[in-house]
Structure 1
Amino acid sequence: MSEIWRILVFFSVCILGFKPSFINAATDPQDAAALRNMYTSMNSPPQLTGWNANGDDPCGQSWKGVTCSGQRVTEIKLSDLGLSGSFGYQLQSLTSVTILDLSNNNLGGGMPYGIPPNLTRLNISHNQLQNQLDNMFDKLTSLSTLDLSFNSIQGNLPQSFSSLSSMNKMYLQNNQFTGTIDVLANLPLDVLNVENNRFTGWVPEQLKGIDLKSNGNSWRSGPAPPPPPGTNPASRNNRSHKGGNSDTSDGGGEGGKSSGIGGGGIAGIVISLLVVGGIIAFFLVKRRSRKASSDIEKIDNEPFAPLPSNDGQEMKSVQISSTLDTKTFDAPATINLRPPPIERHKSFDEDDFSKKPVVVKKTVTVPINVKAYSVADLQMATGSFSIENLVGEGSFGRIYRAQFDDGKVLAVNKIDSALFLGNQSSEDFTEVVSNISHLHHPNVTELVGYCSEHGQNLLVYEFHKNGSLHDYLHLSDEYSKPLIWNSRVKIALGAARALEYLHEVCSPSIVHKNVKSGNILLDAELNPHLSDCGLANFIPRAKEYLSSHVEVGFNAPEILMAGQYSVKSDVYSFGVIMLELLTGRKPFDSLRPRSEQSLVQWASPQLHDIDALSKMVDPALEGLYPVKSLSRFADVIALCIQAEPEFRPPMSEVVQALVLLVQRANMSKRTIGVDQGTSRRGDSQDLGD
């Protein structure tokens, strides 16, 4: 027996306790990758001691602010460090992190694409967040404390807030939130601060018994409207926090022994009455239709759906009938009701629809050069839209790398679902696809296909392996070398030609509305391709969406002041991109001294001073540029970024000026004959102009 016990103990140790030594030597690879991405997204700040863009062991190397348990990262606390940039987009792979504190920094943009799913505390207060919150909180059921205060977050609270079933403390004060706070009504909150926002409506009754701070909003005066009839009282207040007013309980114990008829009993009675009423109404309608059928002509070949009743029941899918002076409605095959005989001479819309608009279905055909993909196809190609295949975020959704069975690699833009709402969403999206499919230019990213299934809208584009110009300039890695002058002028020219095509070739002209270096993609030869072309024009809610996803530094003054987009506002944004190419700086950089944070404000006064100009040039160029070419490049920038739209040149003139620069740059003896640029993915090759 003792021998058997020894064997059992041995196997138990092997199964439960044995850990190879190499496991303890390094952090979980996914955690390490997420922190590396976070580090580069925050502009590789030197104050994060121990952090490294190539490091693989944050736990073993004691990265600042990182706490681990074994191989897994469990806490990230990086408050008050002057961090800038963004959060990165791999945080959701940090499945063991329970505390994330990035408060009191200068982080901008929006919330991370994915949040660690098992967080209990999240604090990103006192930053510069601006975008609307995405509907991404439905899985954060362990989150008990959320602090988003003192940012500039816009828009309504996301519906997924209602899933925060462990939420005790929420701080949303000093933002620009709008709409109501009804989505918070049934959370188990003890503390809620929503001061100094733009909330409207009423404060829900359920929140009035907690530690609530709500000043500085536009609340409605007077009593709140009553809840809808038949609403279960238990669902209106399901909080069980300390000190809360919990009147009844559906569960066992003394709390469930309340007198009278409970919410469930009332709901049962209401449902029973509705069922009985429905049965009576069915027989009355059947009897009446039998009586009417004996007095009318036989029109069995023309089926009709039931006429709308007084309760406002909506009709679906309207089509125009050419055989009768009526509207023909799609209906189940078993329903064949006939119109009343007395009003045979009238069309239905004369009395029943006189006050209701009749919506005619749009018929939109997608050209045959665009392929229709299924959701299953795209899930297979993107690994179910995995984090590993997420390459960034476009203006209207996340971008994934998709590799198909035939070896082809494409980019899939998963359009934000908030952009297409309502009954016509599928038709609207098909129309967008049809319009974009007509855009063809060597410097415009080509639409290859689309997918519209199960409420998902996706666009499939050609893939450009060198990523965006923004990343190439500002997130350089070991595989890429600085862009030489020839390449910078060539990229500016290609992007200018794309805008010239949209503004002056397309009819009617297309205003891009979101021209930025992040939307200029570079192929293997560093040729530029402007992405997201047409989306802001053809997506119905695009302007509203863009206003809540502003990227600081690119927008013309007239957009910031009045939201006025035009071809001239595109020209201004293009001038900002040229400034990025010239200086290597970001359009807005909170890490720099205040006078240098805005690239346009800092650079504008120096563009015509040749001495100051030479000091502004990207140090990565190491002085290898023709001085005259540099000066002419700066002259074009100065024209494009003028404050008054009417003084900015059309893109055709910008193209002409840059063509001359390319010719002169190619002839210059001070530039290197072969481009130093290489593929950011490690596939190096010589690239010529």
Structure 2
Amino acid sequence: MRGVEAVVVALLIGILSSINADTDPADASALNILYTSLNSPQQLTKWNASGGNPCGESWKGITCSGSRVTEINISGLGLSGNMGYQLDKLTSVTTFDISNNNLVNQIPYQLPPNVQRLNLAGNGFTAGLPYSISQMTSLKYLNISHNQIQGQVTVPFTSLTALSTLDFSFNSMTGDLPQSFQSLTSMTNMYLQNNKFTGNIDVLGNLPLENLNIENNQFSGWIPEQLKKIHLQSSGNLFKSVAAPPPPPGSPPARRPNVNPKSGDTSSSLHTEGSEGNGGGGNKSGVGAGAIAGIIISVLVVGVIIALFIIKRRSREPSTDIEKHDNQPFAPVASQQSQEMKSAQSSSMTSTINMETPVVIDLKPPPVDDLKSEDEDDVSTPPAPPPKKANKAPKNAKLYSIADLQIATDSFSADNRIGEGTIGCVYRAQLDDGQVLAVKKINSSSLSNSKDFVEVVSEISRLDHPNVSELIGYCFEHEQHFLVYELHQNGSLHESLHLLDGQSKALTWNNRVKIALGAARALEYLHEVCSPSVIHKNFKSANILLDMEFNAHLSDCGLASLVPEPDQASGYNAPEVSMSGQYTIKSDVYSFGVVMLELLSGRIPFDSSRPRMEKSLVRWATPQLHDIDALAKMVDPALDGHYPVKSLSRYADVIALCVQPEPEFRPPMSEVVESLVRYGGLKDERRHFVLVVQLSSKTALCHNRKIEDEISHS
């Protein structure tokens, strides 16, 4: 008995010690920040803004194992605010449920990295999933349903092989399903209903699904046969009502993993009829293998003959007769061949373009209505996907030949070289008519082919804003690619601040605020007017060009796909970019804050020649932005004290918000624009506030140059 009593006492001591264990400091600190970020709600009983012992004091919704927090369940408590920026420190948390609250901000990048159950449903989130979710290899359950998330799914799911339940339902997600879904080898329950997904669902065909809800989307094509054997809900889509066409001869049969409900084994369920019987030599059907092979060969031969007959007949018929055959069983095969012939003809036409004389081409895509088949009931070919962007039709862009550009730049001479950027060199070009332009020669390493280049040109030509550099034309010839822009005589902001001694003196305080405001409006247009949003990815002072009135013109817009890996030493990249390489509109906001610091201090973002604590401009300046005395010492000496102190302080407040290390705390560019207009050192702030109200429409705010100039010169 004494031995049993000793064991019981030891167990009680262990239980009591675990209950009263001091919480890991990193876990406690993360919960302190979470509590503060949620506006210190009374619903979270026993929680503290600093200190405390979550495990020992039984904080509401917190479960621990020893000194580590393992579960956070604070669902449905009417919480507001955001989730803070240290949840990634909670490395032992396996369940995180903050669903059905009022957290309308962006989902933070910092989330518990080893979580197995993540529930963020019902909070009103609008931005997409953070990239960090793609690295949660232990994740088994992910629920972001009943939010307002828009846009395409850009997070890769390649590493989420343990994920078994995925709920994206009741959002506004668009685009095709990501191909990385095919890596979800443990997926049994998927809920995608009530979104705006398009394309087909073939990527789901070989997943071990048991329940799939894809109702009320815009999916098209055919439902894979494998998915018809599970609990499938698919109404409210554009699926074909007839059977899918047979696969091409020689294609392997579609197969679906056989799920053993007890073991979860996903081994193949295919068995040959001859695999049963004594010694494997019997055949229960009584049909020999030779007979089966003969039947299959006969069917294939007949199919090939019919296909050849139809193809030959089509080649002799006019186009109107060909269209009449679209409802025939073999239409997809013939349709594919027809498309290949059209593609070959298009390539041939492209190669015969006369590049010696510049021509004007209209890059406007065909109207959406033209993408539809003439026969609305056509069931042989899937409908064409909708255009990816909803921006207005692009403007005309002029196609130049290399010969024209060589003459205009004196064979791209060093004397005409006016700059070198991340993706290529820029040359001054003077045309025969006296027009002076800037020609950007794209590095061959940034671009793989001319097709991608023309797509980039089409995207750039859609941009239309007075603070965005205007694309005049382009050239692609002999595997070389050029963009032709308007030339701004005052060069770049980087040159004015850091390279030209006399020019920096011309940048008065009002000029600097004007430049910041123009650049802010350019980003506001890209982020909040363009649909979908355009991420700049390479926002820096060298890409802010100035005209003779010091109006800012942002260059390299729409070239994000050509920008190589981030330069970690540039000083412009947000912390999350340095960690993950992923750019967002919030990383653009951070880069804008760095440029504002350049305008304020006259320093470059990263200066290796300065003392260790002053190398990074953001790290050196941030602690001083709210100290008026220290702030005055930070100001560019070129200003010689000529600036309004009140305006300087408010300018610094905007910087502090933009360079927050946590992206969810950075403001949208529309708020930055409003702050610069209201507090930018303008003479009559009340008058400017009235003008801002008059410009409540973002489009008017971006495009009304007359009122913009009135604001800038008041």
Check whether TM > 0.5.
no
Which structure exhibits the higher relative contact order, with contacts defined as CA atoms closer than 8 Å and separated by 6 or more residues? 1
Q: Please report the TM-score for the alignment, with normalisation by the length of structure 2.
A: 0.43
Q: Which structure: greater helix fraction?
A: 2
